[in-house]
Each structure stands twice: as C-alpha cells, then as structure tokens.
A and B are shown apart, each in its own frame.
Chain A
Amino acid sequence: NAGVMQNPRHLVRRRGQEARLRCSPMKGHSHVYWYRQLPEEGLKFMVYLQKENIIDESGMPKERFSAEFPKEGPSILRIQQVVRGDSAAYFCASSPPETSGGRDTQYFGPGTRLTVL
C-alpha cells in the first residue's frame, strides 16, 4: 500500500523560474493538503484541496502561488517567478474521505526540498 508520493524530492530553480511540485495521495484518499516548512520552523498550512475544488487556501501567499487537484492525476503546487525566500521544504499530506470512518488523520509524503539560487 503505497504512501503519499511527492516528486521531485529535490528541486533547484533560479530566481524568476517556475517551480512545479507534485503530490499523489494515498489510494482512496480524497483530501490533499500542502504545508511549507521554512528552516528552523514548524510546518505552516498552505492549502487544502479535494478533487477539482480548493476548500481552504487561507495559508497561500496571495501572489505567485497556485494549487490544483484535477479529476485525474496528482495535485500540483505551482510557484511562479520564484524568489530566494521560497526556498523551503514543501510537504503534501492526504486524508481519507469523511465517510470512510478514518476521521482526519493526515498522512505525509517525503516532501520536496526547493532551493532557489
């Protein structure tokens, strides 16, 4: 039973380029969350999505950041025109639907470490 998959594990971008991070939730999970971990800090919530819907994006920066979870395929976190301050570890988590009885335990992927030069 595969866990949450994220790729790439490491991503290096120059300032001004685009970064695209992918997340495949655990099988049967319909909720995806993105978190960012800056150096020496805890994880900060960014966005919560269900298939084809953004449920809560209260943690997303207003500009340059976007996320989607299409009907088919992985969830994508896109960062346009990256800046050095975007360097961080980006973690994806998934949880089962409410009807499954799994309540709301979130299972995390290995993260993508983004470095902006």
Chain B
Amino acid sequence: AQSVSQHNHHVILSEAASLELGCNYSYGGTVNLFWYVQYPGQHLQLLLKYFSGDPLVKGIKGFEAEFIKSKFSFNLRKPSVQWSDTAEYFCAVNGGGYNTDKLIFGTGTRLQVFP
C-alpha cells in the first residue's frame, strides 16, 4: 500500500540549530515528492518538490531535501533554523510523470523553535 512515514512527530530546537526531518515512502514506480509547511493558522504552502534530475532539491527559506532512491527517503534539512520556522511540516508523494495523481501525506512533524 502507498504510504508516507514521518518518524519525528514533534521536534524542539533552539534558534541556529540544524534541522533534519525524516520522510520515508512506500510507493510502486516512479514518484514525485513534496514538502509542505503549515504555519500556525495558515494554509499549506509548498516548500520544495522533486520530480526528476538532481536528487538534492533546494526550496524556499533556505530549506533543502535530498531524494535517496535506495532508501526510499526524502529528508528535509535546514542548516540554521529561525524562530519563524515554527510550523508543521508535511511530506507527500504521488505518482511520477505528468499525471495528476492524488497526494499521499505523512502525519506531519510539528517543529517548535525557541529564541
């Protein structure tokens, strides 16, 4: 069955600490991979996406993610977090290629950054 696992449910960091949020997926065939962020009281915003090509993807606000096909992983990283990064982060996957398949989401990771 198609699924996405986010193992870190709640992460607490101090400002300037480095961040890595895990995401593993189970999906047959090629995949598109996404990280979305939901700031408190706001809607989901796209942080970054991987369709093909360079497995290291850079997104907005200094975030990046690396697609490791052999590990079925797409971990999100940021070298130095800020208080404004406090939010919920969702990893998602759908079928690769030019299609309009539904997204399968992980359960999310709540990040709290303290000054």
Interface size on A, as a range, is: 20 to 34
- Type the 1/0 row for B18-44, where 1 means its CB is closer than 8 Å to any CB of A: 000000000000001010100000111
CB atoms of A111 and B103 under 8 A apart: no
Residue tally, chain B, CB below 8 Å to A: 26
Per the bound structure, the CA–CA distance linking A106 and B35 in Å amounts to: 11
CB atoms of B100 and A105 under 8 A apart: no
Total A-B pairs, Cβ < 8 A:
58
- List, in ascending order, chain B residues with CB within 8 A of A56's CB: 102
CB atoms of A48 and B100 under 8 A apart: yes
CB atoms of A111 and B43 under 8 A apart: yes
CB atoms of A105 and B46 under 8 A apart: yes
CB atoms of B44 and A91 under 8 A apart: yes
Q: Would you call B70 an interface residue if the criterion is a C-beta within 8 Å of the partner chain's C-beta atoms?
A: no
* A91 touches which of B4, B43, B49 (Cβ 8 Å): B43
Per the bound structure, the CA–CA distance linking A111 and B43 in Å amounts to: 7
CB atoms of B103 and A106 under 8 A apart: yes
Closest residue of chain B to A95 (Cβ to Cβ) is B100
Other than the known A48-B102, A95-B100, what 10 A-B pairs have Cβ atoms closer than 8 Å? A33-B102, A41-B107, A42-B6, A42-B106, A45-B102, A48-B100, A104-B94, A104-B100, A105-B34, A105-B46
Identify 14 residue pairs between A and B in the complex whose beta-carbon atoms are under 8 Å apart, listed by A's number.
Answer: A42-B4, A42-B106, A48-B102, A56-B102, A59-B102, A91-B44, A93-B103, A98-B98, A103-B32, A104-B94, A104-B101, A107-B46, A108-B36, A111-B43
Binding site for B on A (CB under 8 A): 4, 31, 33, 35, 41-45, 48, 55-56, 58-59, 91, 93, 95, 98, 103-111
Binding site for A on B (CB under 8 A): 4, 6, 32, 34, 36, 42-46, 49, 51, 90, 92, 94, 98-108
